[in-house]
Structure 1
Amino acid sequence: MEHDFELLRELTEARGVPGYEDRIREIVRREFDDSVDRVRTDAMGNVVGTIEGTGEDEGYSVAVAAHMDEIGFMVKHVTDEGFLQVDALGGFDPRVLRAQRVTVHTDGGDLTGVIGSVPPHTLTEEQREKKDEVEDVYIDVGLDGDAASEQVTVGDLVTLDQTTVEMGNLITGKALDDRVCVFQLLEAANRIEDPDVTIHFAATVQEEVGLRGAQALGVDVDPDLAIALDVTVANDVPQIGDESKQVTEVGDGAAVKLKDSSVITNPKVNHRLRDVAERRGIDHQLEVLPAGGTDTAGFQNTHGAKPVGAISIPTRYLHTVTESAHADDVDGAIDLLVAFLETETGDHDYTL
């Protein structure tokens, strides 16, 4: 990577489920200290670092958003035997949860746990045929019922365990969705100097449960233009035979989003993103995502009509602990965001 892998590792390995992004918020505020003119945090926990515009149209502002939260769980019950039952915070594929190691975040400190899995030797025919569901998850923390009840309470949070490593040309770990784009946002803020327009770099909350942080910021910040940063599906793996279902490919460059299930991006914005990429020689591809939403829609649908665009980082194995993105795509996404912001003067007409 051309950029700071240790910061990316710190961001992805930190824990922060929707509504409880405190640990990531601390990192973001620390990194903003030397790169923006002012920082504020709102009542929901969104962090906004602002660089004031120095051009003629100082009143024009751009919001750039990436979400801090990762999918996780909240404890809803401790059984008499000491096992934890949980409610999901965000969308999980239950098939990938069996035998995963987790951390339970309690008032007394973090506890290690594992999601139980019945050995194949003893599965009944009914168990073999049963579809995995999150409500069937039981977390074993290695304690009996009394000890577990003393240390774990309803409302405690649970995150999946994984380290972030470089694997060939890829970076793999948990929570690349969307910490790799928080990293992109922080790197861009550090590189931007004296922009013509005011830029609000926003690290948002609660995206995984309904784009809630971005919706609030769409009102509070009220930008003239919004660019969202998120990962996107890269189904370029052997299990996907139909190339039309790949969406993007890792290593082919940052993706300019045309649509997902929550938004159709402004054609003039995505054309300018593509034009900037071509002029600067930045590898890029186009994204048509059939399902899934991003903060892009949160800004478009609040406080009046807003032109919106999005830059996505192609990522394999989304919503697992082995999410994987290509280092060159990460670098390219940063380069594209910086180039777009450096050439934004407030004079571009995005009305349709």
Structure 2
Amino acid sequence: MTHDPHHSVRDLNRPLLQELLAAYGPVGQEDAVRDICRRELTPLVDEVWVDEAGNLVGLLRGSGDESHSPIRVMAHMDELSMLVKRINPDGTLHLTPLGTMYPGNFGLGPVAVLGNHGIVPAVLTLGSEHTTTESWRIWQTKPDRGDKSLDWHHVYVFTGRTTEELAAAGVRPGTRVCIDRSKRSLVEVGGYLGCYFMDDRASVTALLETARRLHADGRRAPADVYFVFTVSEEIGGIGGTYASHALPGDLTLALEVGPTEAEYSTTVGGGPIVAYSDEKSIYDKNIADRLMDIATKLDLSPQAAVLGAFESDASHSVAVGQTARSALLCLPTLSTHGYEVIPADAIPGMTNVLVEFVLAPTA
């Protein structure tokens, strides 16, 4: 597959992607992202609701073909974020991560502390480079000195506020901390797009665009399709597992970013990634084969992959017996859980595969 950036930019709903990337959606506090998704989804489906777990669900009724079962297609709203662990007397904050990441994934710099009564601008910092062994916490992270990997116990958040001011803003242990909006703008790199949190806002965009395409074409899938925008995926697929249990159907298809590394024989210049297994579970071979066939017929050069150190809403759901079958379709992504880069035509490509799949889940 060759990437035509002009064609891709025309097909990609870039304003929607940028709006989603800019919205704060830490684990367990996905409200801002959910509001955008609900606004976009409501005119495109037959019913919309928020379930008890906080997932946004949209139902597009099928044509009533009883030979097909309902399908649940999921993309998660939450992002990698941080949690205030304690507040020091000087108003600095110590953090613990929400999801698998390290300070180096996002770098030192501006963060947003989401207090209950307001957002507090702050800075994630290590401290001065100009230090000696007396500043042991800093010194041990220097590659030419202590040679220790930068981790959460090394860094802290400088707020510039007193503890009383933080309390007035509703900041306490358990408050979420997100990478600041100033670091969330899309960047074009040739025929590619880069930004933090393509995981999973790029897949959320593809799922919304799939609903938009089906609505615009007036086409109905053979069975009901549930568009599910899930919560708390980054800490164990909590929302997706609940939805798999609560909604009809026997198939959960997750949409994700997919790592592009030599160990998986995947490249960021290739087509959509179809997973056959990950660290948590094995995916349904027949469904994976169907996704590969559809992407091949669309001339998208799909990439089959057996993934490690990777989990999804679908693999969590099948691993605990909440769905009979699972599948995973990914956008080829450079630097997952970091500054993520995808082909500019990857979201339209995923959308095309999804449209064809929900209309014809079997050959």
Output the TM-score relative to the length of structure 1. Answer: 0.90
Q: Quick one: distance in 1 between partners of 2:268 and 2:279?
A: 21
Q: Quick one: distance in 2 between partners of 1:61 and 1:294?
A: 20
Q: Quick one: distance in 2 between partners of 1:127 and 1:229?
A: 36
Aligned residue type for 2:355: V
Match for residue 155 of structure 1? 174
- How far apart are residue 147 of structure 1 and its match? 3.2
Aligned residue type for 2:357: F
Structure 1 residues 120 and 186: alpha-carbon distance in aligned structure 2, compared to 1, 3 A threshold:
same
Match for residue 285 of structure 1? 303
Q: Is the 8 A contact 2:185 2:195 kept in 1?
A: yes
Name which of structure 1's ranges 167-176 and 1-10 shifts more when overlaid on structure 2: 167-176
Q: Is the 8 A contact 2:12 2:345 kept in 1?
A: no
* Residue number among 255, 258, 282 corresponding to 2:273 in the alignment: 255
Match for residue 238 of structure 1? none
Q: Is the 8 A contact 1:19 1:44 kept in 2?
A: no
- How far apart are residue 121 of structure 1 and its match? 2.1
Structure 1 residues 304 and 133: alpha-carbon distance in aligned structure 2, compared to 1, 3 A threshold:
closer
Aligned residue type for 2:62: G
Q: Quick one: distance in 2 between partners of 1:75 and 1:50?
A: 37
Q: Quick one: distance in 1 between partners of 2:317 and 2:298?
A: 27
2:190 aligned with 1:164: no
* Residue number among 202, 205, 224 corresponding to 1:183 in the alignment: 205
Match for residue 348 of structure 2? 331
Q: Quick one: distance in 1 between partners of 2:360 and 2:206?
A: 18
- How far apart are residue 287 of structure 1 and its match? 1.9
- How far apart are residue 214 of structure 1 and its match? 1.1
Q: Quick one: distance in 1 between partners of 2:14 and 2:220?
A: 26
* Residue number among 33, 39, 58 corresponding to 1:30 in the alignment: 39
2:230 aligned with 1:204: yes
2:23 aligned with 1:14: yes
Name which of structure 1's ranges 132-141 and 62-71 shifts more when overlaid on structure 2: 132-141
* Residue number among 297, 300, 306 corresponding to 2:324 in the alignment: 306
Kindly report the root-mean-square deviation, in angstroms, between the aligned alpha carbons of the 2 structures.
2.0
Match for residue 222 of structure 1? 248
* Cα-to-partner distance string for 1:262-306 (whole Å, 9 max, x where unaligned): 121111111111111222323311122121101111332355651
* Residue number among 67, 70, 78 corresponding to 2:76 in the alignment: 67
Match for residue 55 of structure 2? 46
Name which of structure 1's ranges 162-171 and 191-200 shifts more when overlaid on structure 2: 162-171
Aligned residue type for 2:221: P
Name which of structure 1's ranges 137-146 and 187-196 shifts more when overlaid on structure 2: 137-146
Structure 1 residues 181 and 136: alpha-carbon distance in aligned structure 2, compared to 1, 3 A threshold:
same
SS of the equivalent of 1:178 reads: helix
Q: Is the 8 A contact 1:61 1:197 kept in 2?
A: yes
Q: Quick one: distance in 2 between partners of 1:19 and 1:305?
A: 23
Aligned residues with identical type, % of pairs = 30
SS of the equivalent of 2:24 reads: coil
Structure 1 residues 310 and 127: alpha-carbon distance in aligned structure 2, compared to 1, 3 A threshold:
closer
Unaligned residue ranges in structure 2 (runs of 5+) = 1-8, 134-138
* Cα-to-partner distance string for 1:85-140 (whole Å, 9 max, x where unaligned): 12211111233455221101112211111111223221435453233221332101
- How far apart are residue 28 of structure 1 and its match? 1.0
Structure 1 residues 6 and 305: alpha-carbon distance in aligned structure 2, compared to 1, 3 A threshold:
closer
Unaligned residue ranges in structure 1 (runs of 5+) = 236-242
Q: Is the 8 A contact 2:117 2:168 kept in 1?
A: no
Q: Quick one: distance in 2 between partners of 1:132 and 1:114?
A: 16
SS of the equivalent of 2:174 reads: coil
Q: Quick one: distance in 2 between partners of 1:52 and 1:17?
A: 31
